[in-house]
């Protein structure tokens, strides 16, 4: 079986790749993540994946558009709240991955998003299956979350950069929510961070 694997980041690749190799599946990676901001973070994550690809001898197809802040913001179309933007974000990446897989003659496509305990697993599965069917290929589903701990331990032991937030500029801000509130209090402001749906 040949599988076109959308890779969200290097650390999330380690466990799924191990399992897929054990199953003797021929994997080609695809890095398409216009959701990763700002640029220096994007560059770090690309570097981490380059490192792993070299270690694991994995072919990666890199999105030729590179850093995609404007495209991503345009795609989510002002739906900046957590509940609203993530489905757009999955949709954008899985649509493109399925299309690319089909045009390159792959039978299956999948995504390392299925490894993360922090993503909406069932929604990713549903979107993946819908995209696969649209492009006449199959979606490879496996619950890679069972290897969550193992994947982290491997990333740590290899010294791979592990990102502190999901990817978009909104998720970067969310991790500082308490700090923003403290800053607002210090400045005597009622609000510095206004979008409560990010909490």
Question: Which one of residues 89, 94, 102, 132 is an interface residue with ligand SF4 (CB under 6 A)?
Answer: 89
**Of residues 14, 86, 101, 114, which one binds ligand SF4 by CB under 6 A?**
86
What are 52's two structure tokens?
Answer: 């792993």
State which residue, 127 or 168, has the beta carbon closest to ligand SF4: 168
∠ CA(61), CA(67), CA(71), 5° rounding? 105
6 binds ligand SF4 (CB under 6 A): no
Closest to ligand SF4 by CB, 99 or 120: 120
Task: Say what the alpha-carbon torsion angle 14, 20, 23, 24 is, to the nearest 10 degrees.
Answer: -100
Residues 124-163 that bind ligand SF4 (CB under 6 A): none
Give DSSP secondary structure letters for 151-194. HHHHHHHHT----SS-SSHHHHHHTTHHHHHHHHHHTT-S-SS-
Sheet harboring 26-31: ordered strands across? 60-62, 26-31, 2-6, 108-111, 138-139
Residue choice 35, 111, 112, 116 for contact with ligand SF4 (CB under 6 A): 35
Asked whether the beta carbons of 125 and 155 are under 8 A apart, the reply is no
Query: CA 199, CA 180: separation in Å to the nearest integer?
Result: 11
112 binds ligand SF4 (CB under 6 A): no
Rule CB under 6 A: which of 165-184 touch ligand SF4? Answer: 166-168, 170-171
**Site for ligand SF4 contains 97 (CB under 6 A):** no
Number of residues binding to ligand SF4, judged by CB under 6 A? 9
Q: How close are the terminal C-alpha atoms of the chain, in Å?
A: 42
The answer to the question of residue 111 lying near ligand SF4 (CB under 6 A) is no
Residue 9 binds to ligand SF4 (criterion: CB under 6 A)? no
Judged by the rule CB under 6 A, the positions of this chain that interact with ligand SF4 are: 35, 85-86, 89, 166-168, 170-171
């Amino acid at each position: 079986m040949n599988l076109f694997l959308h890779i969200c980041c290097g650390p999330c690749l380690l466990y799924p790749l191990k399992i897929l190799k054990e199953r003797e599946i021929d994997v080609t990676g695809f890095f398409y993540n216009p959701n990763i901001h700002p640029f220096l973070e994007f560059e770090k994550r690309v570097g981490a994946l380059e490192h792993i690809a070299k270690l694991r001898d994995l072919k990666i197809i890199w999105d030729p558009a590179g850093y995609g802040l404007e495209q991503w913001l345009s795609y989510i179309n002002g739906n900046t709240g957590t509940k609203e933007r993530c489905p757009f974000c999955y949709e954008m990446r899985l649509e493109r991955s399925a299309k690319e897989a089909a045009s390159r003659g792959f039978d299956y496509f999948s995504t390392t998003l299925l490894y993360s305990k922090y993503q909406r697993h069932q929604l990713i599965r549903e979107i993946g299956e819908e995209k696969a069917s649209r492009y006449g290929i199959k979606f490879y589903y496996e619950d890679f979350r069972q290897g969550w701990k193992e994947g982290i331990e491997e990333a740590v032991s290899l010294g791979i950069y592990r990102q502190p937030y999901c990817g978009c500029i909104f998720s970067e801000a969310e991790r500082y929510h308490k700090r923003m509130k403290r800053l607002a209090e210090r400045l005597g402001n009622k609000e510095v961070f206004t979008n409560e749906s990010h909490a």
